[in-house]
Amino acid sequence: MSRFSLSLGEPTIADRVLGRGLGIDILLILAGVALTSVAAQAATPAWPIQLTGQSLAVLLVGMTLGLLRGALSMALYVLAGTLGLPIFSNSTSGPDTITGPAGGYVIGFIVAAAFVGWVAERGLDRTFLRAVASAAGGTVIILLIGVPRLAVVSQLSLSEVLVVGVVPVAAGGVVKLVVAAVITTAAWSALNRMERRDADRWSGVA
């Protein structure tokens, strides 16, 4: 397998588990699309946007895959859904999702995954508090891109967009970013324990 990889910074969780290689990169990108597609189906009814599990998947994909693979995975997710694959919330698809009120949030997934991936490739999210900070940054990016689009498309006032587009998304986002931080830091802790155990075993053999 080729040693060339789209992961160019410090090893991410995916790198530590599977190693690096172009074939692995492709599988990871597709796995990110699949995870986000499944998470999108966990949706609550809301107007004019739905709250889904997508942003949790976005954070996890970026934090485990890194900048380029995370961004490519989300870009492929958006492209596939726009072209007709039923992978958006409620198994919907098509360009209406991107051009509609929630379109900014969906586009924000790409940038958010890139950001938390960039942090991960620099080894800056290895502790719980740092992982929370990284995930919070990704969540804010989604809001910064999604809210203005929501306000324009739905013709909402500032107070209205805060009620329907910021408060519920941010409240759910806090829960999801904490979950993402717990999962990734637990993964790092497990990987570090395994490495120490292997090192002790080899030192005992020597």
Q: Which amino acid is at 29?
A: I
* Arithmetic mean of pLDDT, 98-108: 92
CA–CA distance, 156 with 47 (Å, rounded to integer): 12
* Arithmetic mean of pLDDT, 154-179: 87
| Comparison of pLDDT for 82 and 5, the residue scoring more | 82
Average predicted confidence (pLDDT) for the chain: 90
DSSP state of 122: T
pLDDT category of residue 171 using cuts at 50, 70 and 90? confident
CA–CA distance, 167 with 171 (Å, rounded to integer): 6
| Encoded tokens for 123 | 């080894």
- Is residue 166 within 8 Å of residue 147, measured between CB atoms? yes
pLDDT category of residue 43 using cuts at 50, 70 and 90? confident
pLDDT category of residue 24 using cuts at 50, 70 and 90? very high
Q: Residue 2: its pLDDT value, please? A: 46
| Encoded tokens for 21 | 């290689």
Q: Residue 46: its pLDDT value, please? A: 64
Global pTM exceeds 0.85 = yes
